[in-house]
Amino acid sequence: MRVSILGAGNWGTTLALMFQAKSHVITLWEYDTEQAEAIARSRRNEKFLPGYVIPNAIRVTANLTRALDDAEVVILAIPAQTCRSVVRLIGSISSDGIIVSVIKGLEQGTGKRISDICGEELRDFETRQYCVLSGPTIATEIAAGLPSSAVVASDCHVSAEIIQREFSSATLRLYSSDDVTGVEMAGALKNVIALAAGICDGMKLGFNSKGALLTRGLAEIARLGETMGGKRQTFSGLSGIGDLITTCTSPHSRNRTVGERIGSGEKLKDVLGSMVMVAEGVWTARAASELAAKTGIEIPIIDAVCKILFEETPPHVALGQLMARDLKVED
């Protein structure tokens, strides 16, 4: 199978290595010409996935047209906030092609999911051509060959089964689902809760606080996700609680790490300025808060994260406001 992976970050590069090992023909697209040439020349991506050799069989290019040439599957492994501009450049895919998103974020300003963006920007695009792959998938662990599981969702069971069959391996077990909305919402929103979990770690609030945060955070994810059309059982699965636990506890989670640094007293602009990778939860927090306000859904933890990030509310003040909320029945 001819696979084009758009995005040469740690996740995109990891997928290229995995899928090439299964004898798929892989093209890895990197938007930065200098970076693409460096990867192609050295056969390494030290910026995002140090220590791994990229086989010569993987074609690396900064030319999007060349990257998409004859692709049967196009994998979107780019930041959510640049997705629309890249998908617009793609223009269209073949009638029998499949797009697979591994992006975990909502578009700031619109609250749109990646499936929405593809539907708006691709000509003659049908929902049966879209899949989303999500779950507890820390890239460095998968690159190291540690066992992992994830879910691939599509409105079309045939498309989901194709991706499930072609991309499952001895170390990556894929389950299928028909809940695109639920999987996308779960993947995006868990990054915001991971920021909150990191803030807890930075403030040294202990395990009781973190356990409560994850539990109530999952309730917010499910509440907003269901309102947008997701199925409740999805939030109890790999793309929901599975990914939430991993992202909120792993030292490799960039969103948890950003939160920890903020909880320790650093400013958001300084934290982001020191990073080479994108923390999707920062931008998704605002998009989710605005989406919830429009639909009348209460998401106090996510709203508190927004106050800390964008209104410079001190974490201890935001915590006090959460703890002082009216008492209620657990939902």
pLDDT tens for 280-300 read 999 999 999 999 999 999 999
**What's the pLDDT at 331?**
84
Q: Is 21 exposed, middle or buried (0-12, 13-18, 19+ CB in 10 A)?
A: middle
Answer for the pair 81, 108: CB distance below 8 angstroms, yes or no: yes
Which residues on neighbouring strands pair with residue 177, listed in sequence order?
153
Residue with token string 């689902």: 177
Same fold, 2-180 and 182-323: no
What fold does the segment set 182-323 form as a domain? Answer: N-(1-d-carboxylethyl)-l-norvaline Dehydrogenase; domain 2 (1.10.1040)
DSSP conformation letters of 254-295? HHHHHHHHHHTT--HHHHHHT-SS--HHHHHHHHHHHHHHHH
CA distance 237 to 103: 18
Helices within 122-232 (DSSP H only): 139-143, 157-167, 180-203, 206-227
Percent of the chain whose predicted confidence (pLDDT) is above 70 = 100
If you average pLDDT over every residue of the chain, what do you get? 97
Three-state SS at 134: strand
Domain boundaries, the chain: 2-180, 182-323
Residue 136: predicted pLDDT: 98
Contact (Cβ atoms closer than 8 angstroms) between residue 48 and residue 13? yes
User: Distance (Å, rounded) from C-alpha 300 to C-alpha 144?
Assistant: 37
In this prediction, residue 128 has a pLDDT band, given cuts at 50, 70 and 90, of very high
38 band by pLDDT with thresholds 50, 70 and 90? very high
Closest Cα partner for 256 from 265, 244, 266? 244
- Tell me which residues are annotated as active site: 190
Q: Say what the pTM is.
A: 0.96
| Topology (CATH level 3) of domain 2-180 | Rossmann fold (3.40.50)
Over residues 57-62, mean pLDDT:
98
The phi and psi torsions of 231 (rounded to 5 degrees) equal -95, 135
